[in-house]
C-alpha cells in the first residue's frame, strides 16, 4: 500500500503514534542514553561507548568506540550528576582522566590528574556534583600547601612494603575539570566508596583481613570536601602498617551503595555470599537491619531509579541477583529475579531509564559488564515487579576484560 492509497485518517494515526514514541526523523530520539564500559588492557586501557536504543534497549557502539582510556588498567568510571562528564580511574598509573560527553555521546579526553596515593581502586561523586572521591591502596609521603591541598608527593608504601591507603578528594569545577586535590588517610586496603548520600555522608569499605569491621563512615565538609570520622570509626594515626576500625561489614566486602534518600546503605560480602542492609541514622551512623543471600562472589550493585529494586552482580555465578526491600529497608530476595544469567564474571551493573522523567515504562534497562566473556549483557526491567528479561542482540561485544560500566541518559534539548 502506498501513501496515495492510504486514507488520511490512517496516515494521521501513524504520525500520531510515531510522535508519541518520540521517533522523529531529525533528532536523537531513537537513543535513550549511553553506556560506557572500561576494559583493562595490558599496556593501555580502553573505553567502549554505546548508544542505548529507545525501543528495545540494544546497544550500538559509537562511531569512535573504543577509545583510549588514558592510562593502564582502568578499574572503574563514574559519571557526573549533570551527565556532561565521566571520570576514568586507572589503578596502575594512579590517575584519573576527565572526559566530556558530546551531544552525540562520543567521549572527548580533557586532562589527566594524579591521585595522592598509589593503586587507585574506586571513585564516587557527591550528590551536589562538587567533589570527586578516589580510594587508593597505599599512602604516599605528602607535603601540603597552606590551604590543605597536596603540594608534592613521593612513594611511601608499595606491595613490597605495604601500608594503609586513603582517599584523594578533588573539587569539581563548573566545566567538569578537577581542582587541586586534598588527601584523607584511611586504613588498609580500601576498595569501594559511596559519596552519593544527599545528607553529606561518605562511606568506604576496606578489605583488611585483620578485622571484620571494614565499613567506614564520614561526614563531609561541604566547602572543602574533607572527611571527619563518624562516631564509632577509629582512623589510627600511627605511622606504619597499622589498621583502622569501622562498623561490622562482613568478612570481605566488595561493593557498596547508598539509596537516593540517604536513609539506607548496602554492602556485598564475597565470602559469605550475601548483601547486608543498614539503616542510616540522622548522624550518619549505619546499623544493620538484615541480610540476604546472593550468588557466588557478589561484586557491584545498583538501585534502580524508582528506589524499589536492588540488583547485585554475582561474579562466579555469571548472574544478576534481584532484591526488593522490607519495611526497615532490609534486602529481600526477589521472587521474579532471584538469579538472572548474564555473562561470565559480571563485575558491575547499571540501569538507565526513569518513567518518572517521561521515559515509557518499557524503556528501563539494566546492563552488566562481564569481565571473563569480554562483553556487556542487557536486560529489560519491569517497573511493576523488577523482573528482568534478556533484550534483543544481547550480549554486546566489548574489548578485553571489562572492569566496570556506567549509563548516562540523553539530556533533552541539548
> Are residues 46 and 136 located together in one domain of the fold?
no
Kindly write down the DSSP assignment for every residue of 91-138, as one continuous string.
TTTTEEEEEEEPTTS-EEEEEEEE-SEEEEEEEEE-TTS-EEEEEEEE
Return the C-alpha cell found at 6: 492510504
8 within a domain of the structure (yes/no):
no
Measured CA angle at 40 (ends 109, 172), to 5 deg: 35
Burial status of residue 306 (CB atoms within 10 A of its CB: 0-12, 13-18, 19 or more): middle
> Are residues 51 and 76 located together in one domain of the fold?
no
Partners of 31 in beta bridges? 53
> Are residues 286 and 222 located together in one domain of the fold?
no
> Are residues 309 and 346 located together in one domain of the fold?
yes
Cis peptide leading into 125, omega within 30 of 0? Answer: no
Whether residue 414 has pLDDT greater than 80:
no
> Are residues 200 and 303 located together in one domain of the fold?
no
Q: Which of 248, 277, 308 is the last residue of a domain?
A: 248
> Are residues 176 and 112 located together in one domain of the fold?
yes
The domain containing residue 101 runs over which residues? 69-248
Return the C-alpha cell found at 75: 578499574
**With pLDDT > 70 as the criterion, what percentage of the chain qualifies?**
91
Distance, CA of 358 to CA of 37 (rounded, Å): 26
Q: Among all chains, which residue has been given the C-alpha cell 544481547?
A: 394
Mind listing the pLDDT tens digit for each residue in 353-394? 865 555 555 679 999 999 999 999 999 999 999 999 999 899
367 within a domain of the structure (yes/no):
yes
Measured CA angle at 18 (ends 13, 20), to 5 deg: 95
Per the structure, how many domains does the chain have? 2
Estimate to the nearest angstrom the gap between the alpha carbon of 363 and the chain centroid. Answer: 20
Give residues with Cβ within 8 angstroms of 4, minimum separation 6.
none
Return the C-alpha cell found at 122: 574506586
Burial status of residue 321 (CB atoms within 10 A of its CB: 0-12, 13-18, 19 or more): buried
Q: What is the mean pLDDT of residues 284-288?
A: 98
Max Cα distance, the chain (Å): 85
Mean pLDDT (the chain) is 90
Return the C-alpha cell found at 302: 545498583
What pLDDT sits at residue 358?
A: 52
CA distances to 10, 11, 22, 252 from 16, rounded to whole Å, are 10, 9, 10, 54
Partners of 312 in beta bridges? 301, 321
> Are residues 239 and 172 located together in one domain of the fold?
yes
179 within a domain of the structure (yes/no):
yes
Q: Are strands 286-293 and 298-303 parallel, antiparallel or unpaired?
A: unpaired
Distance, CA of 331 to CA of 309 (rounded, Å): 9
Which of 24-38, 297-311, 376-390 has the least mean pLDDT?
24-38
> Are residues 186 and 43 located together in one domain of the fold?
no
CA distances to 69, 254, 342, 360 from 257, rounded to whole Å, are 25, 11, 21, 26
321 within a domain of the structure (yes/no):
yes
Q: Are 280 and 235 in contact (CB under 8 A)?
A: no
- φ, ψ of residue 18 to 5 degrees: the values are -60, -45
14 within a domain of the structure (yes/no):
no
What pLDDT sits at residue 7?
A: 44
What pLDDT sits at residue 37?
A: 98
Mind listing the pLDDT tens digit for each residue in 143-187? 999 999 999 999 999 999 999 999 999 999 999 999 999 999 999
The Cβ-side half-sphere exposure at 316, using a 13 Å CA radius, reads: 8
> Are residues 333 and 373 located together in one domain of the fold?
yes
81 within a domain of the structure (yes/no):
yes
Q: Which of 221, 248, 275 is the last residue of a domain?
A: 248
* Length, in residues, of the chain: 414
Return the C-alpha cell found at 191: 576498595
Q: Are 214 and 208 in contact (CB under 8 A)?
A: yes
Reference 123, options 148, 151, 90; nearest CA is 90
> Are residues 175 and 80 located together in one domain of the fold?
yes
What pTM does this model have? 0.91
18 within a domain of the structure (yes/no):
no
What pLDDT sits at residue 324?
A: 98
95 within a domain of the structure (yes/no):
yes
Cis peptide leading into 66, omega within 30 of 0? Answer: yes
Whether residue 271 has pLDDT greater than 50:
yes
Partners of 68 in beta bridges? 46
CATH code, domain with 97: 2.130.10.10
> Are residues 311 and 279 located together in one domain of the fold?
yes
Q: Which of 190, 214, 248 is the last residue of a domain?
A: 248
User: In 10 A of CB 127, how many CB atoms?
Assistant: 16
Mind listing the pLDDT tens digit for each residue in 74-121? 999 999 999 999 999 999 999 999 999 999 999 999 999 999 999 999
> Are residues 122 and 61 located together in one domain of the fold?
no
Amino acid at each position: 500500500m502506498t501513501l496515495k492509497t492510504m486514507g488520511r485518517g490512517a496516515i494521521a494515526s501513524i504520525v500520531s503514534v510515531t510522535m508519541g514514541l518520540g521517533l522523529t526523523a531529525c533528532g536523537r530520539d531513537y537513543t535513550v542514553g549511553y553506556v560506557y564500559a572500561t576494559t583493562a588492557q595490558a599496556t593501555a586501557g580502553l573505553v567502549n561507548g554505546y548508544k542505548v536504543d529507545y525501543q528495545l534497549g540494544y546497544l550500538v557502539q559509537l562511531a569512535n568506540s573504543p577509545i583510549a582510556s588514558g592510562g593502564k588498567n582502568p578499574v572503574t568510571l563514574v559519571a557526573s550528576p549533570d551527565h556532561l562528564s565521566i571520570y576514568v580511574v586507572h589503578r596502575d598509573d594512579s590517575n584519573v582522566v576527565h572526559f566530556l560527553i558530546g551531544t552525540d555521546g562520543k567521549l572527548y579526553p580533557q586532562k589527566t590528574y594524579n591521585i595522592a596515593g598509589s593503586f587507585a581502586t574506586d571513585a564516587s561523586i557527591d550528590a551536589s556534583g562538587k567533589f570527586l572521591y578516589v580510594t587508593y591502596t597505599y599512602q604516599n609521603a605528602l607535603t601540603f600547601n597552606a590551604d590543605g591541598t597536596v603540594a608534592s608527593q613521593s612513594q611511601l608504601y608499595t606491595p613490597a612494603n605495604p601500608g594503609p591507603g586513603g582517599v584523594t578528594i578533588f573539587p569539581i569545577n563548573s566545566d567538569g575539570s578537577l581542582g587541586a586535590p586534598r588527601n584523607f588517610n584511611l586504613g588498609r586496603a580500601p576498595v569501594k566508596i559511596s559519596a552519593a548520600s544527599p545528607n553529606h555522608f561518605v562511606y568506604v569499605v576496606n578489605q583488611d583481613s585483620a578485622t571484620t569491621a571494614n565499613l567506614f563512615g564520614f561526614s563531609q565538609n561541604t566547602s572543602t570536601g574533607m572527611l571527619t570520622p563518624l562516631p564509632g570509626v577509629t582512623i589510627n594515626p600511627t605511622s606504619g602498617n597499622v589498621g583502622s576500625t569501622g562498623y561490622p561489614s562482613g568478612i570481605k566486602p566488595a561493593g557498596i551503595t547508598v539509596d537516593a534518600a540517604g536513609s539506607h546503605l548496602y554492602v556485598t560480602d564475597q565470602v559469605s555470599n550475601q548483601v547486608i542492609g543498614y539503616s542510616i541514622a540522622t548522624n550518619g551512623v549505619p546499623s544493620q537491619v538484615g541480610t540476604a543471600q546472593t550468588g557466588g562472589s557478589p561484586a557491584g550493585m545498583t538501585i534502580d531509579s524508582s528506589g524499589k529494586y536492588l540488583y547485585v552482580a554475582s561474579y562466579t555465578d555469571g548472574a544478576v541477583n534481584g532484591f526488593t526491600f522490607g519495611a526497615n529497608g532490609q534486602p529481600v530476595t526477589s521472587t521474579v529475579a532471584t538469579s538472572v544469567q548474564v555473562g561470565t564474571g559480571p563485575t558491575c551493573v547499571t540501569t538507565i531509564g526513569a518513567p518518572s522523567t517521561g521515559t515509557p515504562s518499557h524503556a528501563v534497562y539494566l546492563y552488566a559488564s562481564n569481565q571473563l566473556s569480554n562483553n556487556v549483557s542487557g536486560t529489560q526491567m519491569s517497573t511493576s515487579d523488577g523482573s528482568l528479561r534478556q533484550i534483543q542482540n544481547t550480549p554486546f561485544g566489548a574489548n578485553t576484560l571489562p572492569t566496570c560500566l556506567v549509563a548516562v541518559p540523553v539530556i533533552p534539548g541539548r
